[in-house]
Chain A
Amino acid sequence: MKMPWDIFIYKERPRKEKFELLETPEDDSNKVNRATEPEKQAYIYSDIKSNLKRIKEDFKIPLNSDVIIRELKVCGYIDAFLVFIDGLTDKKILNEVVLDNLMSGTRGMDYEEDLIDEIADKIINVGIVKKHNLFDEIESMVTNGFCALFIDGHNKCLLLELAKYPKRNIEKPENEKTIRGSKESFVEDLPTNVSMLRRLFKNKNLIVEYMRIGAESNIGCAIMYVNGIINPEIVKEIKKRINKVKSESILGSGMLEQRIEDNKWMIFPQTLNTERPDRAASLLMEGKAIIMVEGSPCVNAVPITFFDLYHTSEDNNLRWYYGSFISLIRLLGVLMAVFLPGFYIALVLYSQEMISSELLASIAGAREGVPFPTIAELTIMEVAFELIREASSRVPGTIGETLGIVGALILGQAAVQAGLVSPILIIVVAASGISSFVIPDYSLSLAIRITRFFFILMGYLAGFYGISIGMFIFFGLMCSMKSFGVPFLAPIAPKLRTSSDIILAKPIDTMKYRPDEANTLKKQKKK
C-alpha cells in the first residue's frame, strides 16, 4: 500500500538488464567438439527410427523451424519420411507429384530388397534423382534444395531434386554498358547463369563442373570451360587452388578471386570480372575458364592479360575503324589518368624552362595569393575528387551520377573563387579524373587511380627523373607479373605468333588465331 511518505524512503530500483557480450573461451575449430563427442555414424541406419532421431539431432528440429519432416507410409504400410527445407522446394510438385506417387503409386506393392531403386526407376516422376548413404552428403544436399526420402529397412536414401526458390529476373548490366552488345546480365542463381551461358555457347564440348567451396557455408561454384580448346593444366590448377580454400565464408566471386590469385601484392587484378554472358562466351572461345560463384552476379575469367582488361567487347562488335578509334581514345585516357598530375608537378616544380613563357605567366598569375604550396594543393584536390567519386556511388538514383563530376567541378570553381587553389590545377585534376572513367574494368580503374598517386610522389621527389624511375620500376613489375602462368603483358612482352589486337582493332576476318599465350590446344579458330 502506498503511503505518502514513501517518496522519501529509499527504494532499490530494479536493475535494467543490459546485454553484455562476455568472453567465451577461445574455441576455434569444430574439430575439438567432434573429438570429444562420441563418434557419430556416418552411414545411415536401416532402421527408420534411428534415422529420424539422427536427422532431428543434426538439423536441430524443432528449433529450426524451416526444416520439415513429413512422415508417410509407402506401399500402404512401410514407414518412410521426407526431409526438406521449406523455402527451397517447389511445393506444387511436392504435393501433386511426389506425395501422390509415393502414397498412391506404390499402393499394393510389396516390400522388396531394392524398393528404393524400384521407386526411383518406376514410380517417382521427378527428373533428377540421386542415391546416397552418407549423412553428411545427404544433409548438404537437403540444404541445397533436395528432398530426402528415407524408407524403413533400407540403408540407402533417395534424393529428389525439387529446388525452386525466388530469384531475380534477368536485367540489364549495371556496370558494363554497351551500345550494341547484348543487354543481359548474370543473376545470383547458379543454374540460371549456367543456362544463360549454355544458350550462347551451344557446344557439346562445353563442360560445367560443380564444386563446393568453403568449410561451413557450402557455397556452390561452377567452372566452365571448353574441353579441347583450353589447356588442361589450367583446369587442374584452378581446381587445386579452389580445393585449398578452407575459409568459411566465401560470399561472392570477389572473395574467391582473392584466394585463388597468383600474387596478392600485385596492384593489378589477375582475374577478369564480368557480368555479361556474351563477354563470358567470347572469353570461353579464347581458351579461358569461367568460374561462377553462387550468390554473385559477377563471374571470374582466368587466365587473363592486361589487354583483356583493357578491351571492351565493343571493339570487336563494331567495324574496325570505329573500334580502333575508340580504342585509341581509351589509350589516351589511360595515359592521361596515370601521368597527367605527375607531369604537372614535375613541370611546375622542377622544369619551369619547359613551359612556354606565356603559359608560365598564366600559371604564375594564377598562383598569386594561393596559400598552399603546389604539392599540397594537388594532394588536397585529388583526395577531394576521390571523396566525391566515392560519395556519388552511394547516393541513390540519378542524383548520384550528376553529383559526381558536376559537383566536383563546381566545388573546384568555388575553391578557385575563394582563392584556395589555382584554376589550372582544377583542370589538371578534372582531366585526369574524367579520363579514368574511360577504363571499362572496375578493378583496373581502381588500380590506375592508385598508381596515379605513386607517380605524383615520384614526380615530387625528383621531377622528370623521378617519373622516369617510377615508370621503369612500375613497368618492370608489370612485365614480370603472371596470371595462372600467362605473362601479364602478352602479347607485347613476349612476342608471340598470333596477331591479336592490342590497341587497334583489326578487321574481323584477319583475326584467325587464338591468343598464343594461353597455350591453347586448338590454335586456329574456325572461320
Chain B
Amino acid sequence: MRRISIALILFVVVLLSTSCFDAHEVDDYAYVTTVGVDKGIADKWRFSFQITNMRTGGPKEGSGGKEAPEHVTITIDAPDFFHAANVLDTSLARTLNFRHTKYIVISREIAENGDFTETMGPIIRFREIRRTAGVIVSNTSAQSFIEEFNPKIGISMARLQEGLMEQSKQTGFFPQIQLKEFYSTLKSNYKQPIAILAGVNDFSHLLPQKAENDTQKKELGKRIAGEIPRKGGNTIEFFGTAVFDGDKMVAELDGYETRIMLMMRGEYSQGVFSFSDPLKPELHISVNLRQRRKPKIKVQFEDGNPVINIKLMLHGELLAIQSKIDYEESNKIGYLETVMEGIIKKEAEALIDKAKELNTDFLYFGTHVIRNFTTIQEWEKYNWIEQMENVKAIVDVDVRIRGTGTMIQTSPVKGVEVEGK
C-alpha cells in the first residue's frame, strides 16, 4: 500500500515536471495584429508586422485615464515569411504569435506582379493564422499602410480591426473578403478572387475653403481608396475592390462598381444610394437600399454559350429629397423606382461588360452555371474560367421603395424669393 502511494506520487511529480510542453503564459507572446508584404530590396520580400502592446485595461492604472495602446511596426527583408518571423524573434523579448492576426496586407506592386502565391500562399498551411483574416490590397506600400493603421480615436486595436470589416455590411463600398474565400477562389474553377482595396488618405484631397475648384473632380463614389476628400479621424480607409485573375491583379473597381458587384453576388447588405433627381438634375435624391432577396440567376445554353438572366431585387426607403418635390405620392414613387431601376441596370451592364473585357468572373456566375453539369469531368473540360467573354447577360432590376422616413409629405419652403413648384 505504501509502495503504491509512493509510486503514484513519484509518477505525478515526474509528469508535472516533464510535461506541460506547450504551456506558455499569455505574456510570453507578442501578438501580431497585421501582416504586410512589399517588394524587398536587401532580400526578396519586405515583411512588416504590427505588434500591439496589450496593456489596455490594467486596473492598477485606475487613476489618470487610460494609456493609449502602443503599436509597433517592425519591418524586415527576408526571402520567406516564416524565416522573417523567426529572425525577428531575436530582437524581441517575446515570441511572435500570429493567432490574433486580423489582416493580411499586400502592396499593389506585388498583386500586379502575381506574386501572391509565392509570398503569402504558404501561410495557409500555418496553424496559427486563422482563415478569417481579411485580405487587403494597399494602394500605398504595405509598410506605410500598417504604420498608419492605428486607432486615432481611443478604441482598442482589435475593435478597430473588427469594426472596419463590419462596415462592408453597412455601406457596400468594399467587399468582405477573408482568407478562406480568397484562397479557395484562387484555386477555384468557377470563381475568381477579389480583395479589399485600401489606402492611406493624407487628407490632401480636402482642399481648404479658399482654394480654386478641384481640378480632378470625380463623383464621390467613383473614387478609390486614398482619394476621398475628407479630413480627421483615421488615416486609412477601405474603399473599392481589387480584381484578380489567378493570382495577378488586373483591375480595380471603384465604390459604385463594388456595390453593383456585391448586389449581383448576393452579398450586398445595405447602403445609401444617391442619384440625381430626374426632374432637377443638379440636385440629388438619397435612398437607403437593401437587397430584398438574393438575385435570381438562370442559366441556359445557346449554341454552347451561356445566356444568363439576372434579376436583382432591392428595396429601400427614401432618405433625402433635396429638390423638395413631393415624391412621396404613389405615382411619383413609381416613377422614382423606374428611374432607379434604369440607373442600376445601366451600371450592372457596364460592370458585366468590364468583366467580359477582362475575362474574369468576379461576379460568381460560375456558381450558377455549374448546376447544369452532372459530373466533375465535364465541368473541368468545359473550363469556365475562360468562357466569361462568351457570356450573354440580361439584367433585370426590381426596386421597391417601401418607406419615406418620418415625413409623408413635403411642403414647399415659403419665402420671398423662392420659386413655386
Contacts and interface: CB of A to CB of B under 8 A. Distances in A.
A contacting B, Cβ–Cβ less than 8 Å:
yes
Interface of A: 348-350, 352-353, 356-358, 360-369, 373-375, 416-417, 419, 423, 457, 460-463
Q: Which residue among A349, A360, A361, A462 has the maximum number of chain B CB atoms within 10 Å of its CB?
A: A361
B1 to A, nearest CB: 11
Contacts of A357: 31, 33, 100, 102, 157-158, 162
A125 B97 CA distance: 92
Interface stretch (B14-22, B82-90, B188-196): B14-22
A365 B23 contact: no
B100 A365 contact: no
Contact of B57 (A356, A362, A369, A375): A362
A416 B59 contact: yes
A357 B26 CA distance: 12
A424 to B, nearest CB: 10
A368 B27 contact: yes
A358 B99 contact: no
B15 A461 contact: yes
B25 A365 contact: no
Q: Which 10 A-B pairs have the closest CB atoms?
A: A357-B158, A353-B99, A364-B54, A362-B57, A349-B23, A361-B54, A365-B58, A365-B57, A364-B26, A357-B100
B56 interface: yes
Nearest to A373: B25
B58 A353 contact: no
Contact of B22 (A350, A358, A360): A350
B218 interface: no
A350 B99 CA distance: 12
B27 A367 contact: yes
Contact of A353 (B27, B69, B130, B158): B130
B29 interface: yes
B60 A361 contact: no
B22 A463 contact: yes
B414 interface: no
Interface in B182-226: none
B128 A353 contact: yes
A368 B59 CA distance: 10
Interface in B1-48: 12, 15-16, 19-20, 22-27, 29, 31, 33
Contacts of B58: 365-366, 368
Given A358-B156, A368-B55, A352 B16 contact: no
A362 B59 CA distance: 9
Nearest to A363: B26
B213 to A, nearest CB: 45
Interface string B370-387: 000000000000000000
Contact of B27 (A350, A364, A460, A462): A364
B421 interface: no
B159 interface: yes
A384 B26 CA distance: 24
Contact of A365 (B12, B31, B54): B54
Q: Summarize A's interface: helix, strand, loop or mixed.
A: helix
Interface residues of B, number: 34
A350 B57 contact: no
Contacts of A352: 24, 26, 29, 97, 99
A163 to B, nearest CB: 44
Contacts of A363: 26
A516 to B, nearest CB: 38
B159 A358 contact: yes
B59 A367 contact: no
A107 to B, nearest CB: 69
A280 to B, nearest CB: 37
B25 A349 contact: yes
A358 B162 CA distance: 11
In this complex, the member of B12, B22, B128 whose beta carbon has the largest number of chain A beta carbons within 10 angstroms is B22
Contacts of A350: 22-24
A443 B26 CA distance: 37
A11 to B, nearest CB: 55
Nearest to B69: A361
9 contacts: A349-B25, A352-B24, A358-B159, A361-B55, A361-B158, A364-B26, A364-B55, A367-B26, A375-B23
Contacts of B162: 357
Contacts of B52: 361
Nearest to B24: A349
A348 B15 CA distance: 20
A366 B57 CA distance: 7
Contacts of A365: 54-58
Given A352-B99, A461-B15, A461-B20, A360 B26 contact: yes
Nearest to A362: B57
A369 B60 contact: yes
A375 B54 CA distance: 21
A363 B55 CA distance: 9
A490 to B, nearest CB: 31
A361 B25 contact: no
Contacts of B158: 356-358, 361
A360 B156 contact: no
A460 B23 contact: yes
B99 A361 contact: no
**Among the interface residues B16, B54, B162, which one has the most CB atoms of the partner chain A within 10 A?**
B54
Contacts of B97: 352
A417 B63 CA distance: 13
Nearest to B57: A362
A377 to B, nearest CB: 10
Nearest to A369: B60
Nearest to B12: A457
B165 to A, nearest CB: 13
A451 B29 CA distance: 31
A419 B60 contact: yes
A375 B25 CA distance: 10
A361 B56 contact: yes
A36 B12 CA distance: 53
Nearest to B130: A353
A457 B15 CA distance: 10
Q: Which of A353, A362, A365, A423 has the most CB of B within 10 A?
A: A365
Contacts of A358: 156, 158-159
Contacts of B130: 353
Contacts of A353: 99-100, 128, 130
Nearest to B29: A352
Contact of A360 (B24, B54, B59, B159): B54
Contacts of A373: 25
A460 B24 CA distance: 11
B93 to A, nearest CB: 13
A357 B100 CA distance: 7
A375 B20 CA distance: 11
Contacts of A374: 25-26
A362 B56 contact: yes
| Most interface-central of A353, A357, A363, A457 (chain B CB within 10 A) | A357
Nearest to B62: A417
A349 B25 CA distance: 5
Contacts of B56: 361-362, 365
Contacts of B15: 461
B173 to A, nearest CB: 25
A261 B24 CA distance: 44
A367 B58 CA distance: 8
Contacts of A361: 52, 54-57, 69, 156, 158
Interface in B62-105: 69, 97, 99-100, 102
A348 B26 CA distance: 6
Contacts of A375: 23
A469 to B, nearest CB: 12
A451 B12 CA distance: 16
A364 B55 CA distance: 7
A368 B33 CA distance: 20
A461 B16 contact: yes
A360 B22 CA distance: 18
A346 to B, nearest CB: 9
A462 B19 contact: yes
A457 B12 CA distance: 10
